[in-house]
């Protein structure tokens, strides 16, 4: 197998993590909306935790993209 083909396969495999990130972000905000509907007075208190969860989940996506770019161009 040529080196360029191996790099592209590796970068494609590294971006599989983005699917998990999309699912995770959907779960985070879906559960937030569900909890906010059940108890509207607690929704503003939970929002900071939701943003923290979103930021940590999104960081995984950035790490996956950085690894993919390192494989392709490194």
Q: Which two tokens stand for residue 19?
A: 């699917």
Among candidates 1, 18, 20, 3, which has minimal Cα distance to 68? 18
The count of structural domains within the chain is 1
In the prediction, which pLDDT does 1 show? 77
In the prediction, which pLDDT does 74 show? 82
Q: What backbone phi and psi angles, to 5 degrees, belong to 39?
A: -140, 85
Q: Determine contact, residues 32/46, Cβ cutoff 8 Å.
A: yes
Secondary structure of residue 74 in the 3-state scheme: coil
Whole domain around residue 67: which residue ranges?
A: 3-73
pTM (2 d.p.): 0.77
CATH number at residue 52: 1.20.20.10
Q: pLDDT truncated to tens, each residue of the chain (74 aa)? A: 798 999 999 999 988 888 889 999 999 999 999 999 999 999 999 999 999 999 999 999 999 999 999 999 98
Q: What backbone phi and psi angles, to 5 degrees, belong to 2?
A: -75, 155
């Amino acid at each position: 197998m040529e080196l360029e083909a191996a790099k592209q396969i590796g970068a494609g495999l590294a971006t599989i993590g983005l699917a998990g990130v999309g699912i995770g972000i959907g779960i985070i905000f879906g559960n937030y909306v569900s909890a906010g509907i059940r108890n509207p007075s607690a929704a503003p208190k939970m929002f900071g935790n939701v943003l923290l969860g979103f930021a940590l989940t999104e960081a995984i996506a950035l790490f996956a993209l950085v690894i993919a770019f390192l494989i392709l161009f490194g």
